[in-house]
């Protein structure tokens, strides 16, 4: 988030109970209500957070411009209501279930932009260290974060 903000994009990271997005699906409501001067909103998340972001989008699509998924996929069909979507994952991601990811791709708009970060893994989208079952990254988490910020910023600004 910080790397995206450094590109001039307003970012808000909402705190989740027990660090699990499912426990406060509507957490973005508070941020959107507080920052009334911002007219263009995207919602997104990493892993489970992305799935929850798609749920939020499904009931708030009139006020959102798109969806950002990091090593994630939607948990329900947003293909007809989502204006824009980007899906980014690492080539060495050992946590993302590729079968489920492939199956869920039909839930995204046909214009979804898919980006694979060569050498990136699941944990590389955050700063929480290694994750059990993940593949071995051939780039640093810092490099993955900077690449992700560039892709997301470009996506938002198009």
Q: In order of start, what are the domains of the chain with their CATH numbers?
A: 2-157 (3.40.50.1820)
Cα–Cα nearest to 57, from 46, 68, 48: 68
Q: What pTM value is reported for the model?
A: 0.94
Q: For residue 114, which of 75, 153, 144, 155 has the smallest C-alpha distance?
A: 155
Cα-Cα-Cα-Cα torsion 45, 47, 52, 55, nearest 10 degrees, comes to: 90
pLDDT digit of tens for each residue in the chain (158 aa)? 999 999 999 999 988 766 667 666 889 999 999 999 999 999 999 999 999 999 999 999 999 999 999 999 999 999 999 989 999 999 999 999 999 999 999 999 999 999 999 999 999 998 888 999 999 999 999 999 999 999 999 999 98
CA 151, chain centre distance (Å) = 11
């Amino acid at each position: 988030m910080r790397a995206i903000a450094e590109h001039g994009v307003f970012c808000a990271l909402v705190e989740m109970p027990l660090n699990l997005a499912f426990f406060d699906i509507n957490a973005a409501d508070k941020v959107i209500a507080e920052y009334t001067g911002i007219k263009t909103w995207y919602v997104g998340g990493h892993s489970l957070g992305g799935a929850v972001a798609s749920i939020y989008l499904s009931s708030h699509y009139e006020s959102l411009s798109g969806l950002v998924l990091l090593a994630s996929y939607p948990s329900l069909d947003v293909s007809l209501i989502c204006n824009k979507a980007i899906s980014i994952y690492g080539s060495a991601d050992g946590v993302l279930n590729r079968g489920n990811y492939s199956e869920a791709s039909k839930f995204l708009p046909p214009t979804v932009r898919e980006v694979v970060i060569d050498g990136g893994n699941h944990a590389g989208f955050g700063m929480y260290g290694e994750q059990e079952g993940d593949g071995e990254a051939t780039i640093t988490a810092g490099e993955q974060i900077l690449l992700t910020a560039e892709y997301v910023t470009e996506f938002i600004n198009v």
